[in-house]
Structure 1
């Protein structure tokens, strides 16, 4: 809805990874450098880790856009805690080898034959395994064995492992993975973006879909977006999308920190966090060691400033509820009619920003 309202050609903050929206933060630039170095070696393992939503899948999408398919045959699989045998069957299928009815030794031979088939075309195979933290040790050991396949002194297979932070901890902490560790030629952990990168990130994604500065963003909006999202790309996209929707509903031309914080509060209310356990009543002990409850101090009465802020928030909530009721009514009318698009003009109420424009 907000893309149409602001004349955009698409949704700039969709959660589905899209290589078009690639934005190179400092940590992603470093990750690409490690990937480039690793691919130049032509062997071994490259490991990229990061928290949920850090942009690992987007990074791989960008990598696949940049590599030369005449030199590399890229195969991507997503592991969901599959065992070693199923992993081998999945890899065989990706190499156009039918794994049906094959025992393990036959399966390994078939995979090696498939890798040789790719090599005869002048390419080597790049296997990208996403969600690697779900793989059991036995499956990781099978990947190590596959990395040993060679032809003419050159590796037939190179492997990129993408995983959450616990995968990095497993690699460092498991004695059974020592041989795999010795084959890792590059490793990088994706950190959240820095606060100063948020404004350029938002502007970049908006520019891809034809943004012409409407709505505009106040400087304090970027600080609020960073504070709420922690700089994690997926969280930032989710928050920014909701902020744009709120701006469209209220017909705003400027998004400031107040808008961001209001949306953040609404999102927190939609998905409340578990309530913390109530701390036990504090006690003190006298000489005879009999516990005596400490009477808590009475809470101070709210000052006038606090009352005014609460009243302002209540007013804003009422305005938002009224706006949502209007738009829902319009949408219902639209669905029940033959019109192509609902008339949203009743929502286009004049504001201070309209007069300023």
Structure 2
């Protein structure tokens, strides 16, 4: 694609949460600080929520990678599980090798025994649940009951829930009032401001290997921020498409028309009500789409040429 054109060693705006690109943005740092304080205080339930694409999974992985040695983590990335499946998943994460014929009472006994053993060794277990808004009602209740497992000094297991705003809506219902009262620490990830987006884009480009002057102007950063509503995932998509168009036209810097075309090509963006000023893509409504297709074809052709040369 455009890696060689901009002197990059890797794609800077991938959608997979990569802690190697983690940048100390204020909302992400604050979320991690809240989590660290809550874990140190031994609280049973901790919750982090945020709109789709605001970086919950990235914060989740950063937390797992930075836990001190006295913590043993159990991670559930797909929580759409029944209570029975949830207990089996926890048992596997704790390293238990139980017979499949165990009933739930027996399985709970072995989980409790394992938690007590880890506690005696000075280990604190942290169960981290991503996409917690997908938990069935019965499984949410099963999680609450897990926090009843405790020694005379502390909880045997702490739970961290990462979820979308729908999780907050469910917890506000009368049905989950007991669980809601047990959440002592919570944090809501907010969207980014334009200056944070500017620092975020420049940071990712630098990590990817870029060493030149800023590729995006302040004006275009503000345009992208408005269109993406400050959501990092959408910002990644728009920045990537802008670079594709810039590369396809042989430009050294991203121009406003590249950003506007990227916005027009992306769903779930906010209309900036800006025309394609001075665009060389033509006046056709499909001009910017042709530009993106050309950029993709050029990238594919470059990869094919390199593979053919390697074969020769």
Q: Deviations over 1:318-338 (max 9, x none)?
A: 883895598379459727x73
Distance 1:179 1:334, change over 3 A: same
Extract unaligned runs of 5+ from structure 1.
273-305, 342-357
Contact 1:127/1:158 (8 A) holds in 2: yes
Equivalent residues in 2 for 1:201-212, closer than 5 Å: 201-212=200-211
Q: Is it true that 1:216 corresponds to 2:187 in the alignment?
A: no
Contact 1:47/1:187 (8 A) holds in 2: yes
Deviation at 1:199, TM superposition (A): 0.5
Q: Is it true that 1:314 corresponds to 2:283 in the alignment?
A: yes
Contact 1:53/1:232 (8 A) holds in 2: yes
Q: Which has the larger radius of gyration?
A: 1
Q: Is it true that 1:264 corresponds to 2:231 in the alignment?
A: no
Deviation at 1:311, TM superposition (A): 9.0
What is residue 197 of structure 2 aligned with on the other side?
198
Deviation at 1:66, TM superposition (A): 2.3
Deviation at 1:122, TM superposition (A): 1.6
Give the Cα–Cα distance (whole angstroms) in 2 for the partners of residues 85 and 197 of structure 1: 43
Runs of 4+ in 1 over 6 A off after TM superposition: 308-312
Deviation at 1:223, TM superposition (A): 1.0
Counterpart among 300, 305, 309 of residue 339 in structure 1:
309
Give the Cα–Cα distance (whole angstroms) in 2 for the partners of residues 221 and 202 of structure 1: 12
Give the Cα–Cα distance (whole angstroms) in 2 for the partners of residues 17 and 101 of structure 1: 37
Counterpart among 295, 298, 306 of residue 327 in structure 1:
298
Secondary structure in structure 2 of the residue aligned to 1:208: helix
What is residue 29 of structure 1 aligned with on the other side?
29
What is residue 55 of structure 1 aligned with on the other side?
55
Q: Deviations over 1:232-283 (max 9, x none)?
A: 1111111111111222222211113221001222335xx99xxxxxxxxxxx
Give the Cα–Cα distance (whole angstroms) in 2 for the partners of residues 260 and 217 of structure 1: 9
RMSD of the alignment, in Å? Answer: 3.0
* Number of equivalent positions: 304
Deviating more after overlay: 308-317 vs 240-249: 308-317
Secondary structure in structure 1 of the residue aligned to 2:211: coil
Distance 1:327 1:138, change over 3 A: closer
Q: Is it true that 1:77 corresponds to 2:76 in the alignment?
A: yes
What is residue 295 of structure 1 aligned with on the other side?
none
Deviation at 1:56, TM superposition (A): 0.4
Contact 1:6/1:214 (8 A) holds in 2: no
Greater relative CO (CA pairs within 8 A, separation 6+): 2
Equivalent residues in 2 for 1:12-27, closer than 5 Å: 12-27=12-27
Distance 1:80 1:157, change over 3 A: closer
Deviation at 1:8, TM superposition (A): 1.1
Give the Cα–Cα distance (whole angstroms) in 1 for the partners of residues 160 and 250 of structure 2: 46
Deviation at 1:17, TM superposition (A): 0.6
Deviation at 1:186, TM superposition (A): 0.4
Secondary structure in structure 1 of the residue aligned to 2:265: helix
Q: Deviations over 1:105-142 (max 9, x none)?
A: 11111111121232233211000011111112221111
Deviation at 1:81, TM superposition (A): 2.4
Deviation at 1:75, TM superposition (A): 1.1
Deviation at 1:43, TM superposition (A): 2.5
Give the Cα–Cα distance (whole angstroms) in 2 for the partners of residues 33 and 49 of structure 1: 15
Contact 1:74/1:128 (8 A) holds in 2: yes
Distance 1:187 1:332, change over 3 A: closer
Contact 1:23/1:201 (8 A) holds in 2: yes
Contact 1:125/1:158 (8 A) holds in 2: yes
Give the Cα–Cα distance (whole angstroms) in 2 for the partners of residues 195 and 162 of structure 1: 25
Give the Cα–Cα distance (whole angstroms) in 2 for the partners of residues 311 and 238 of structure 1: 22
Q: Deviations over 1:18-62 (max 9, x none)?
A: 111112323223212221221121121000111111100100112
Give the Cα–Cα distance (whole angstroms) in 1 for the partners of residues 243 and 279 of structure 2: 24
Contact 1:250/1:323 (8 A) holds in 2: no
Deviation at 1:80, TM superposition (A): 4.1
